[in-house]
Amino acid sequence: MALTAVIRVPSRALLRPWARLRDAALGWIEPAGGGGVEVSAQRFASQKVLVEPDPAAGVAVMKFKNPPVNSLSLELLTELVISLEKLENDKTVRGVVLTSDCPGIFSAGLDLTEMCGRNPAHYAEYWKAVQEMWLRLYLSNLVLVAAINGASPAGGCLIALTCDYRVMADNPKYCIGLNETLLGIVAPFWFKDNLVNTIGHRASERALQLGLLFPPTEALQVGMVDKVVPKDQVQSTALSVLAQWMAIPDHARQLTKNMMRKPTADRLLKQRDADIQNFVSFISRDSIQKSLQMYLEKLKQKKG
Ligand SMILES: CCCCCCCCCCCCC/C=C/C(=O)SCCNC(=O)CCNC(=O)[C@H](O)C(C)(C)COP(=O)(O)OP(=O)(O)OC[C@H]1O[C@@H](n2cnc3c(N)ncnc32)[C@H](O)[C@@H]1OP(=O)(O)O
């Protein structure tokens, strides 16, 4: 539904796109004449995340739409968090399927252009948004099922790992994993914790050190995904799984999910600022910037 009302947001919120979108979504709206800056709410309508609700079934399908590869730009991350928050607050929705609108790609992971050649303030803002996305997804009260309909490296894999269940398309070209070491970078401890909680310590150690990207059948074997099905059945299978999980009373399932996940999330929550500082100083190193630039160049040359 298109929003057309004129709203007022505090002018300080216009300093950064992340703050601007978040403030609008959280309703930080001053009354008319409150000294804010007039903007149209239409600007906050989601462009990069499509949400298709099915109130009768109590579910929604959330599709990432950031062509060509669904890289997790600041804008996409912001919209994802806002869309999730809306769904969390919608009493008619109890479960969500996360999938992609880009053919053959679930998500290419964090947007390398957000981590290359920018200034420390930008890196800090970007990393805060990445943290926020992970915390919101990982601790969501909703049942989340990933319908992995394409390649899912690094940050793409992380999104899938936050879900309660993962269904992947049976195409050997689609790979999933935390491949950070291949880029000369290191998966942060909370990426690692999420992986360890999913596939265990030994398998994670091997996968992380080698930056392994698993094709679907291997991902199933190692426990990174729960089901592999033909591509045209990924979304319908995810919806069936969602219905099974939703047969459990919400309060019991939610308390159980929280009991399982809170200690892992708390590790980051206790040191969010330090984690941002670590990221900024790590990513700002000349050697890391060089590695990322070379990796991006390689991706571009692949075509030519
Ligand atoms: C002392 C220790 C301290 C530790 C402290 C730790 C701090 C933390 C450290 C940092 C942690 C960072 C964690 C990072 C997580 C990530 O997610 S990094 C991103 C990783 N992603 C990838 O490696 C995937 C790269 N992409 C691909 O492999 C392929 O693109 C694809 C997804 C398989 C799709 O292939 P194809 O369909 O053939 O498309 P392409 O032609 O390759 O790409 C199309 C255009 O898209 C651009 N692109 C691709 N991926 C990205 C990306 N991730 N970000 C930005 N842009 C991307 C690609 O360059 C092409 O661009 P054009 O040529 O301009 O069209």
pLDDT for the residue 302: 80
Rounded Cα distance between 118 and 115, Å, is 7
Catalytic position from the list 179, 194, 195, 212: 179
Active site residue 66: no
Ligand 1 atom index nearest CA of 113: 55
pLDDT for the residue 161: 99
Q: What is the mean pLDDT of the chain?
A: 88
Residue closest by Cα to atom 48 of ligand 1: 69
Contact 220, 168 (CB under 8 A): yes
Task: List strands edge to edge, sheet with 143-148.
Answer: 49-54, 59-64, 95-100, 143-148, 165-169, 227-229
Active site residue 88: no
Q: What is the pTM of this model?
A: 0.89
Ligand 1 atom index nearest CA of 156: 17
Q: What is the ipTM of this complex?
A: 0.98
Distance 294 CA to ligand 1 centre (A): 11
Q: Is the CB of 155 under 6 A from ligand 1?
A: yes
pLDDT for the residue 124: 98
120-172 per-position pLDDT tens digit: 999 999 999 999 999 999 999 999 999 999 999 999 999 999 999 999 999 99
Active site residue 95: no
Q: Which of 7-21, 118-132, 143-157, 219-233 has the lowest mean pLDDT?
A: 7-21
Could you say which DSSP state residue 130 is in?
A: H
46-86 per-position pLDDT tens digit: 699 999 999 999 999 999 999 999 999 999 999 999 999 99
Q: Is the CB of 180 under 6 A from ligand 1?
A: yes
24-51 per-position pLDDT tens digit: 443 333 333 333 333 333 333 469 999 9
pLDDT above 50 for 245: yes
Residue closest by Cα to atom 42 of ligand 1: 299
* pLDDT confidence bin for 304, thresholds 50/70/90: low
CA distances to 10, 183, 262, 287 from 290, rounded to whole Å, are 39, 10, 36, 5
Domains and CATH numbers, the chain: 44-302 (3.90.226.10)
pLDDT above 50 for 267: yes
Q: Is the CB of 211 under 6 A from ligand 1?
A: no
In this structure, the number of other CB atoms found within 10 A of the CB of residue 51 comes to 17
